[in-house]
Amino acid sequence: MSKVIRKATIKSVKKLVFPILILLLIVFVVGCQALEPSQDLEPSTIPSQEGSDTEQPYSEQPDSKPASAKPSVLFSPTVEPIGTEAPTESEEPFGEDYSREVKIVLTEAYPLLSFNSPLEFVHAVDDSDRIFVVEKDGRILVFSNNPEADEAKVFLDLTAKVDNRASEKGLLGLAFHPDYTRNGYFFVNYTDREGTVIARYKVEQNDPDMGLADSEEVLLTFSQPYNNHNGGRIEFGKDGHLYIATGDGGSGGDPQNNSQNRSNLLGKILRIDVDNPKQGALYGIPADNPFVGNDQGFREEIYAYGLRNPWKFSFDYHRNWLWAADVGQNKIEEINIIKKGENYGWNIMEGSQIYSSQVGVNQEDLVLPVWEYEHPIGKSITGGFVYYGDEIPGLRGAYVYGDFVTGMIWALWLDEDLSADNRLLLETDLMISSFGLDQNNEMYVVDFNGKIYRLSQKS
Protein backbone atom coordinates (compact mmCIF):
# COMPACT_ATOMS: atom_id res chain seq x y z
CA MET A 1 0.00 0.00 0.00
CA SER A 2 2.82 2.38 0.85
CA LYS A 3 4.48 1.76 -2.51
CA VAL A 4 1.31 2.70 -4.35
CA ILE A 5 1.02 5.93 -2.36
CA ARG A 6 4.73 6.78 -2.97
CA LYS A 7 4.38 6.24 -6.74
CA ALA A 8 1.27 8.39 -6.86
CA THR A 9 3.06 11.16 -4.97
CA ILE A 10 6.07 11.09 -7.30
CA LYS A 11 3.81 11.33 -10.33
CA SER A 12 2.00 14.33 -8.77
CA VAL A 13 5.27 16.10 -8.06
CA LYS A 14 6.52 15.54 -11.60
CA LYS A 15 3.35 17.07 -12.94
CA LEU A 16 3.90 20.23 -10.77
CA VAL A 17 7.64 20.74 -11.45
CA PHE A 18 7.33 21.69 -15.09
CA PRO A 19 4.76 24.54 -14.57
CA ILE A 20 6.82 25.88 -11.66
CA LEU A 21 10.00 25.97 -13.76
CA ILE A 22 8.18 27.78 -16.55
CA LEU A 23 6.84 30.34 -14.06
CA LEU A 24 10.28 30.96 -12.54
CA LEU A 25 11.79 31.48 -15.99
CA ILE A 26 9.16 34.13 -16.83
CA VAL A 27 9.79 35.96 -13.54
CA PHE A 28 13.56 35.96 -14.15
CA VAL A 29 13.26 37.42 -17.65
CA VAL A 30 10.84 40.15 -16.55
CA GLY A 31 12.99 41.05 -13.58
CA CYS A 32 16.13 41.44 -15.69
CA GLN A 33 14.32 43.79 -18.06
CA ALA A 34 13.14 45.91 -15.13
CA LEU A 35 16.70 46.19 -13.78
CA GLU A 36 18.18 47.47 -17.04
CA PRO A 37 18.67 51.29 -17.04
CA SER A 38 16.53 53.30 -19.41
CA GLN A 39 18.36 54.69 -22.42
CA ASP A 40 16.93 58.15 -21.49
CA LEU A 41 18.73 58.43 -18.13
CA GLU A 42 21.64 60.86 -17.65
CA PRO A 43 25.09 59.41 -16.99
CA SER A 44 25.86 58.65 -13.37
CA THR A 45 26.59 61.67 -11.07
CA ILE A 46 28.30 59.63 -8.38
CA PRO A 47 31.63 61.37 -7.56
CA SER A 48 34.80 59.56 -8.47
CA GLN A 49 37.22 58.37 -5.81
CA GLU A 50 39.39 61.42 -6.60
CA GLY A 51 36.55 63.88 -6.07
CA SER A 52 36.01 66.32 -3.21
CA ASP A 53 33.72 63.93 -1.37
CA THR A 54 36.68 61.69 -0.62
CA GLU A 55 38.91 64.46 0.76
CA GLN A 56 39.62 64.59 4.49
CA PRO A 57 37.51 67.16 6.38
CA TYR A 58 39.29 70.27 7.70
CA SER A 59 38.71 69.27 11.30
CA GLU A 60 40.86 66.17 10.77
CA GLN A 61 43.91 68.25 9.87
CA PRO A 62 45.12 69.31 13.32
CA ASP A 63 48.04 71.35 11.99
CA SER A 64 45.81 73.57 9.87
CA LYS A 65 43.85 76.68 10.82
CA PRO A 66 41.02 78.05 8.68
CA ALA A 67 41.63 81.57 7.45
CA SER A 68 38.30 82.67 8.89
CA ALA A 69 38.86 81.15 12.33
CA LYS A 70 37.70 83.41 15.17
CA PRO A 71 39.39 83.59 18.56
CA SER A 72 37.86 81.07 20.94
CA VAL A 73 36.55 82.45 24.20
CA LEU A 74 36.88 80.10 27.12
CA PHE A 75 34.69 80.55 30.18
CA SER A 76 34.90 78.90 33.56
CA PRO A 77 32.62 75.84 33.66
CA THR A 78 31.66 76.71 37.23
CA VAL A 79 30.54 80.29 36.55
CA GLU A 80 27.98 81.16 33.91
CA PRO A 81 29.06 84.40 32.15
CA ILE A 82 26.70 86.94 30.68
CA GLY A 83 26.17 86.94 26.96
CA THR A 84 27.63 83.79 25.45
CA GLU A 85 24.91 82.91 22.95
CA ALA A 86 24.82 83.99 19.31
CA PRO A 87 22.21 86.63 18.36
CA THR A 88 19.02 85.61 16.62
CA GLU A 89 18.10 86.62 13.08
CA SER A 90 15.10 88.56 14.33
CA GLU A 91 17.04 91.35 16.02
CA GLU A 92 16.58 94.91 14.85
CA PRO A 93 19.16 96.10 12.30
CA PHE A 94 21.12 99.31 12.79
CA GLY A 95 20.30 100.70 9.35
CA GLU A 96 18.88 99.75 5.98
CA ASP A 97 22.22 98.41 4.73
CA TYR A 98 23.00 96.62 7.97
CA SER A 99 24.99 93.42 7.62
CA ARG A 100 27.62 91.86 9.83
CA GLU A 101 29.52 90.56 6.84
CA VAL A 102 32.02 93.38 6.48
CA LYS A 103 35.63 93.58 5.34
CA ILE A 104 37.76 96.32 6.83
CA VAL A 105 41.03 97.92 5.81
CA LEU A 106 43.25 100.39 7.62
CA THR A 107 44.61 103.41 5.80
CA GLU A 108 47.04 105.92 7.21
CA ALA A 109 44.85 108.86 8.13
CA TYR A 110 47.48 111.61 8.17
CA PRO A 111 50.54 110.44 6.20
CA LEU A 112 52.44 113.67 6.78
CA LEU A 113 52.09 113.60 10.56
CA SER A 114 53.76 111.49 13.22
CA PHE A 115 53.34 111.51 16.98
CA ASN A 116 55.38 110.63 20.06
CA SER A 117 53.74 107.74 21.96
CA PRO A 118 50.13 108.81 21.29
CA LEU A 119 47.48 107.62 23.74
CA GLU A 120 44.27 109.45 22.81
CA PHE A 121 42.44 110.72 19.71
CA VAL A 122 39.70 113.22 20.56
CA HIS A 123 37.64 115.81 18.70
CA ALA A 124 36.37 119.02 20.27
CA VAL A 125 32.60 119.33 20.55
CA ASP A 126 32.57 122.53 18.48
CA ASP A 127 31.97 121.33 14.88
CA SER A 128 35.43 122.59 13.90
CA ASP A 129 36.48 119.14 12.58
CA ARG A 130 39.75 119.39 14.46
CA ILE A 131 41.58 116.47 16.01
CA PHE A 132 43.43 116.50 19.34
CA VAL A 133 46.07 113.83 19.95
CA VAL A 134 47.35 113.22 23.47
CA GLU A 135 51.02 112.25 23.75
CA LYS A 136 52.26 110.31 26.75
CA ASP A 137 55.03 112.76 27.62
CA GLY A 138 52.54 115.55 28.32
CA ARG A 139 51.67 117.30 25.07
CA ILE A 140 48.34 117.72 23.32
CA LEU A 141 48.55 118.40 19.58
CA VAL A 142 45.80 119.86 17.40
CA PHE A 143 45.33 119.75 13.63
CA SER A 144 42.68 119.74 10.94
CA ASN A 145 40.97 116.43 10.19
CA ASN A 146 42.40 116.36 6.70
CA PRO A 147 44.54 113.57 5.21
CA GLU A 148 46.78 116.28 3.73
CA ALA A 149 47.40 117.95 7.09
CA ASP A 150 51.13 118.60 7.40
CA GLU A 151 51.31 120.48 10.69
CA ALA A 152 50.13 119.73 14.22
CA LYS A 153 50.23 122.64 16.65
CA VAL A 154 50.93 122.25 20.35
CA PHE A 155 47.60 122.89 22.04
CA LEU A 156 48.90 122.33 25.57
CA ASP A 157 52.32 121.40 26.92
CA LEU A 158 52.35 119.80 30.38
CA THR A 159 55.71 118.06 30.10
CA ALA A 160 57.01 120.02 33.08
CA LYS A 161 54.19 118.66 35.27
CA VAL A 162 53.74 115.12 33.96
CA ASP A 163 55.68 112.17 35.30
CA ASN A 164 55.96 109.70 32.42
CA ARG A 165 59.02 107.78 33.56
CA ALA A 166 57.13 104.48 33.88
CA SER A 167 55.47 102.72 30.96
CA GLU A 168 51.94 103.29 32.27
CA LYS A 169 52.40 106.84 33.54
CA GLY A 170 52.03 110.11 31.67
CA LEU A 171 49.32 112.32 30.22
CA LEU A 172 46.54 109.75 29.94
CA GLY A 173 43.22 111.44 29.24
CA LEU A 174 41.48 114.46 27.67
CA ALA A 175 37.82 115.48 27.69
CA PHE A 176 36.07 118.62 26.46
CA HIS A 177 33.23 120.08 28.50
CA PRO A 178 29.82 119.54 26.84
CA ASP A 179 29.43 123.33 26.78
CA TYR A 180 32.98 123.89 25.51
CA THR A 181 31.93 126.37 22.83
CA ARG A 182 30.67 128.68 25.56
CA ASN A 183 32.98 128.16 28.54
CA GLY A 184 36.17 126.89 26.85
CA TYR A 185 36.81 124.27 29.54
CA PHE A 186 38.64 121.03 28.95
CA PHE A 187 39.90 118.43 31.42
CA VAL A 188 42.97 116.20 31.62
CA ASN A 189 44.11 113.16 33.57
CA TYR A 190 47.84 112.83 34.20
CA THR A 191 50.31 111.35 36.66
CA ASP A 192 52.85 113.38 38.59
CA ARG A 193 55.41 112.28 41.20
CA GLU A 194 52.67 111.85 43.81
CA GLY A 195 49.92 110.08 41.89
CA THR A 196 46.96 110.94 39.65
CA VAL A 197 45.77 114.48 38.89
CA ILE A 198 42.41 115.44 37.39
CA ALA A 199 42.60 119.07 36.30
CA ARG A 200 40.61 121.66 34.38
CA TYR A 201 42.10 124.05 31.82
CA LYS A 202 40.74 126.79 29.63
CA VAL A 203 41.29 127.61 25.96
CA GLU A 204 42.67 130.98 24.84
CA GLN A 205 39.63 133.06 23.92
CA ASN A 206 41.20 134.48 20.77
CA ASP A 207 43.04 131.36 19.63
CA PRO A 208 41.09 128.07 19.57
CA ASP A 209 44.31 126.15 18.94
CA MET A 210 45.94 127.22 22.21
CA GLY A 211 45.15 125.95 25.69
CA LEU A 212 46.27 128.12 28.57
CA ALA A 213 48.88 126.25 30.58
CA ASP A 214 48.58 128.69 33.48
CA SER A 215 44.82 128.19 33.79
CA GLU A 216 45.07 124.89 35.65
CA GLU A 217 42.55 124.18 38.39
CA VAL A 218 43.17 120.86 40.12
CA LEU A 219 39.88 119.14 40.84
CA LEU A 220 41.00 115.84 42.29
CA THR A 221 44.20 114.02 43.25
CA PHE A 222 44.87 110.58 44.68
CA SER A 223 48.06 108.67 45.33
CA GLN A 224 49.30 105.69 43.32
CA PRO A 225 51.19 103.09 45.37
CA TYR A 226 52.92 101.60 42.30
CA ASN A 227 53.91 102.80 38.84
CA ASN A 228 51.42 100.74 36.83
CA HIS A 229 47.64 100.40 36.53
CA ASN A 230 46.70 104.07 36.39
CA GLY A 231 43.67 103.82 34.11
CA GLY A 232 43.44 107.29 32.61
CA ARG A 233 40.39 107.63 30.40
CA ILE A 234 38.01 110.54 31.15
CA GLU A 235 34.82 111.36 29.30
CA PHE A 236 31.60 113.28 29.83
CA GLY A 237 28.39 111.31 29.87
CA LYS A 238 25.07 112.34 28.43
CA ASP A 239 24.14 113.37 31.97
CA GLY A 240 26.81 116.10 31.85
CA HIS A 241 28.96 114.47 34.52
CA LEU A 242 32.63 113.59 34.18
CA TYR A 243 33.50 109.87 34.31
CA ILE A 244 37.03 108.80 35.29
CA ALA A 245 38.69 105.38 34.98
CA THR A 246 41.21 104.43 37.67
CA GLY A 247 43.43 101.37 37.95
CA ASP A 248 43.88 99.26 41.08
CA GLY A 249 47.12 100.95 42.09
CA GLY A 250 49.45 98.50 40.41
CA SER A 251 51.92 95.77 41.20
CA GLY A 252 50.25 92.41 40.45
CA GLY A 253 47.11 90.79 41.84
CA ASP A 254 46.07 93.99 43.66
CA PRO A 255 48.09 93.28 46.82
CA GLN A 256 46.44 96.15 48.71
CA ASN A 257 42.92 95.00 47.75
CA ASN A 258 42.14 98.45 46.39
CA SER A 259 39.55 97.43 43.82
CA GLN A 260 37.24 95.92 46.43
CA ASN A 261 37.89 98.70 48.93
CA ARG A 262 35.26 101.39 48.50
CA SER A 263 37.01 103.73 50.92
CA ASN A 264 39.54 104.64 48.18
CA LEU A 265 39.29 105.61 44.51
CA LEU A 266 41.48 102.91 42.95
CA GLY A 267 40.11 100.19 40.67
CA LYS A 268 36.94 102.17 39.97
CA ILE A 269 34.87 104.18 37.55
CA LEU A 270 34.27 107.57 39.20
CA ARG A 271 31.58 110.12 38.40
CA ILE A 272 31.74 113.76 39.46
CA ASP A 273 29.76 116.92 38.80
CA VAL A 274 32.11 119.64 37.55
CA ASP A 275 29.36 122.25 37.19
CA ASN A 276 28.04 122.22 40.76
CA PRO A 277 31.01 122.15 43.12
CA LYS A 278 30.46 121.43 46.76
CA GLN A 279 31.91 123.66 49.44
CA GLY A 280 35.68 123.47 49.58
CA ALA A 281 36.06 121.59 46.28
CA LEU A 282 35.95 122.24 42.55
CA TYR A 283 33.44 119.47 41.92
CA GLY A 284 30.31 118.03 43.44
CA ILE A 285 28.83 114.57 43.84
CA PRO A 286 25.86 113.71 41.59
CA ALA A 287 22.81 113.18 43.77
CA ASP A 288 22.19 109.70 42.33
CA ASN A 289 25.71 108.34 42.76
CA PRO A 290 25.35 104.92 44.41
CA PHE A 291 27.13 105.67 47.69
CA VAL A 292 25.88 109.19 48.36
CA GLY A 293 25.26 109.73 52.07
CA ASN A 294 26.62 106.36 53.14
CA ASP A 295 27.83 105.95 56.73
CA GLN A 296 30.45 103.27 55.98
CA GLY A 297 33.22 105.54 54.79
CA PHE A 298 32.77 104.73 51.10
CA ARG A 299 33.94 107.39 48.66
CA GLU A 300 30.92 109.09 47.15
CA GLU A 301 32.70 109.67 43.83
CA ILE A 302 32.50 105.93 43.07
CA TYR A 303 30.14 104.94 40.28
CA ALA A 304 31.30 101.28 39.91
CA TYR A 305 34.14 99.22 41.36
CA GLY A 306 36.01 95.92 41.18
CA LEU A 307 38.12 96.81 38.12
CA ARG A 308 41.79 96.04 37.55
CA ASN A 309 43.02 98.52 34.95
CA PRO A 310 40.22 99.78 32.69
CA TRP A 311 42.08 100.80 29.54
CA LYS A 312 39.47 102.91 27.78
CA PHE A 313 35.74 103.19 28.26
CA SER A 314 33.13 104.81 26.03
CA PHE A 315 29.42 105.56 25.86
CA ASP A 316 26.91 104.07 23.47
CA TYR A 317 24.38 106.89 23.47
CA HIS A 318 21.92 105.00 21.28
CA ARG A 319 21.43 102.38 23.98
CA ASN A 320 22.67 104.28 27.05
CA TRP A 321 25.39 101.73 27.71
CA LEU A 322 28.80 102.40 29.21
CA TRP A 323 31.40 100.01 27.78
CA ALA A 324 34.71 99.37 29.56
CA ALA A 325 37.65 97.17 28.60
CA ASP A 326 39.56 95.85 31.61
CA VAL A 327 43.12 94.54 31.23
CA GLY A 328 43.64 91.11 32.76
CA GLN A 329 46.29 89.73 35.08
CA ASN A 330 47.77 86.58 33.55
CA LYS A 331 44.92 84.91 31.72
CA ILE A 332 41.80 86.83 30.67
CA GLU A 333 41.01 90.14 28.96
CA GLU A 334 37.45 91.33 29.49
CA ILE A 335 34.71 93.71 28.36
CA ASN A 336 32.06 94.99 30.74
CA ILE A 337 28.86 96.98 30.51
CA ILE A 338 29.18 99.31 33.48
CA LYS A 339 26.15 99.95 35.66
CA LYS A 340 25.82 102.17 38.68
CA GLY A 341 26.89 100.64 41.96
CA GLU A 342 27.95 97.27 40.57
CA ASN A 343 30.99 95.22 41.56
CA TYR A 344 32.92 93.81 38.56
CA GLY A 345 34.82 91.26 40.55
CA TRP A 346 38.53 92.01 40.54
CA ASN A 347 40.53 90.69 42.41
CA ILE A 348 38.12 87.90 43.36
CA MET A 349 37.54 87.11 39.70
CA GLU A 350 39.68 87.49 36.63
CA GLY A 351 37.05 87.67 33.94
CA SER A 352 34.58 84.86 34.61
CA GLN A 353 37.12 82.69 36.45
CA ILE A 354 37.93 82.70 40.14
CA TYR A 355 41.20 84.47 40.93
CA SER A 356 41.12 84.53 44.72
CA SER A 357 38.66 84.11 47.56
CA GLN A 358 37.75 86.82 50.02
CA VAL A 359 35.83 86.55 53.25
CA GLY A 360 32.52 88.39 53.28
CA VAL A 361 32.14 88.67 49.49
CA ASN A 362 29.25 86.86 47.83
CA GLN A 363 30.31 85.83 44.35
CA GLU A 364 26.69 85.88 43.22
CA ASP A 365 26.76 89.67 43.66
CA LEU A 366 29.62 90.11 41.18
CA VAL A 367 28.96 91.19 37.60
CA LEU A 368 30.68 89.02 35.01
CA PRO A 369 32.00 90.27 31.65
CA VAL A 370 29.77 90.40 28.60
CA TRP A 371 32.77 89.15 26.60
CA GLU A 372 36.27 87.90 27.30
CA TYR A 373 39.20 86.20 25.61
CA GLU A 374 42.11 84.26 26.97
CA HIS A 375 45.86 84.61 26.50
CA PRO A 376 47.65 84.20 24.13
CA ILE A 377 44.95 85.40 21.70
CA GLY A 378 45.69 88.77 23.25
CA LYS A 379 47.44 90.01 26.35
CA SER A 380 46.34 93.62 26.88
CA ILE A 381 42.92 94.75 25.74
CA THR A 382 42.35 98.26 24.38
CA GLY A 383 38.76 99.43 24.50
CA GLY A 384 37.14 101.25 21.61
CA PHE A 385 33.75 102.59 20.58
CA VAL A 386 30.45 101.47 19.16
CA TYR A 387 30.45 102.40 15.49
CA TYR A 388 27.59 104.57 14.21
CA GLY A 389 29.30 106.17 11.23
CA ASP A 390 28.05 106.13 7.63
CA GLU A 391 31.07 104.86 5.70
CA ILE A 392 30.92 101.23 6.93
CA PRO A 393 27.23 100.23 7.10
CA GLY A 394 27.99 96.63 8.01
CA LEU A 395 29.80 97.72 11.16
CA ARG A 396 26.96 99.77 12.64
CA GLY A 397 26.13 98.92 16.21
CA ALA A 398 29.35 96.98 16.78
CA TYR A 399 31.74 97.69 19.62
CA VAL A 400 35.19 97.82 18.00
CA TYR A 401 38.16 97.00 20.22
CA GLY A 402 41.68 95.61 19.95
CA ASP A 403 44.71 94.25 21.73
CA PHE A 404 47.84 96.27 22.41
CA VAL A 405 50.16 93.27 22.30
CA THR A 406 48.86 91.14 19.42
CA GLY A 407 47.46 93.94 17.26
CA MET A 408 44.17 92.16 16.62
CA ILE A 409 40.99 94.18 16.05
CA TRP A 410 37.53 92.74 16.67
CA ALA A 411 33.88 93.79 16.38
CA LEU A 412 31.43 92.75 19.09
CA TRP A 413 27.68 92.96 18.64
CA LEU A 414 25.49 92.66 21.74
CA ASP A 415 21.74 92.18 21.69
CA GLU A 416 19.56 93.75 24.35
CA ASP A 417 19.69 90.45 26.26
CA LEU A 418 23.51 90.63 26.04
CA SER A 419 23.86 87.67 23.70
CA ALA A 420 27.10 88.19 21.82
CA ASP A 421 28.46 87.92 18.29
CA ASN A 422 32.21 88.58 18.18
CA ARG A 423 34.12 88.70 14.89
CA LEU A 424 37.77 89.21 14.01
CA LEU A 425 38.13 92.23 11.73
CA LEU A 426 41.88 92.54 11.26
CA GLU A 427 45.22 91.14 12.32
CA THR A 428 47.79 93.95 12.43
CA ASP A 429 51.30 94.59 13.71
CA LEU A 430 50.19 97.79 15.45
CA MET A 431 50.58 98.57 19.15
CA ILE A 432 46.97 99.70 19.57
CA SER A 433 46.98 102.24 22.38
CA SER A 434 43.57 103.74 21.63
CA PHE A 435 40.67 104.14 19.26
CA GLY A 436 39.01 107.43 18.41
CA LEU A 437 36.05 109.04 16.67
CA ASP A 438 35.89 112.19 14.59
CA GLN A 439 32.87 114.49 14.67
CA ASN A 440 31.14 112.31 12.03
CA ASN A 441 31.54 109.17 14.15
CA GLU A 442 34.09 107.64 11.78
CA MET A 443 36.63 105.50 13.60
CA TYR A 444 40.41 105.67 13.92
CA VAL A 445 43.12 103.46 15.42
CA VAL A 446 46.00 104.97 17.40
CA ASP A 447 49.33 103.19 17.04
CA PHE A 448 51.65 103.78 20.00
CA ASN A 449 54.52 103.79 17.51
CA GLY A 450 53.34 107.17 16.23
CA LYS A 451 50.75 106.84 13.48
CA ILE A 452 46.97 107.20 13.19
CA TYR A 453 44.92 104.89 10.95
CA ARG A 454 41.36 105.16 9.68
CA LEU A 455 38.94 102.25 9.42
CA SER A 456 37.42 101.93 5.96
CA GLN A 457 35.33 99.38 4.15
CA LYS A 458 37.27 97.22 1.74
CA SER A 459 36.09 97.80 -1.81
For 235-252, the pLDDT digits (tens) are 999 999 999 999 999 999
User: Mapped to the 3 state alphabet, what secondary structure does 81-121 carry?
Assistant: CCCCCCCCCCCCCCCCCCCCCCCEEEEECCCCCCCCCEEEE
pLDDT band at 59 (very low <50, low <70, confident <90, very high): very low
Q: Is 178 inside a domain boundary? A: yes
Is the pLDDT at 292 greater than 80? The verdict is: yes
Flag whether 346 is in a domain. Answer: yes
The band of 361, judged by pLDDT with boundaries at 50, 70 and 90, is confident
In a domain, 399, yes or no: no
- Whole-number pLDDT of residue 80: 34
Q: Is residue 417 part of a domain?
A: no
253: left (phi over 0), alpha (psi -120 to 50) or beta: left
| Cα distance between residue 374 and residue 351, in whole Å | 9
Return the minimum-mean-pLDDT range out of 29-33, 109-113, 377-381.
29-33
Q: How many domains does the chain have?
A: 1
Domain span holding position 189: 118-392
- Give per-residue pLDDT as tens, 263-287: 999 999 999 999 999 988 999 999 9
Residue 420 maps to a domain? no
Cα separation values, 188 from 122, 357, 439, Å? 12, 36, 20
What confidence score (pLDDT) does residue 363 get?
85
Q: Tell whether 459 is covered by a domain.
A: no
Mean pLDDT of all residues belonging to the chain? 84
Whether 39 is in a domain gets the answer no
The letter for the amino acid at 54 is: T
* Residue 67 in domain: no
Residue type at 4? V
For the question of whether the overall pTM of this predicted structure is more than 0.85, the answer is no
Q: How confident is the model at residue 364 (pLDDT cuts 50, 70, 90)?
A: confident
Q: What is the 3-state secondary structure (H, E, C) of 434-458?
A: EEEECCCCCEEEEECCCCEEEEEEC
Q: What is the pLDDT of residues 430-446, one digit of tens each?
A: 999 999 999 999 999 99
Q: What CATH number has the domain bearing residue 273?
A: 2.120.10.30
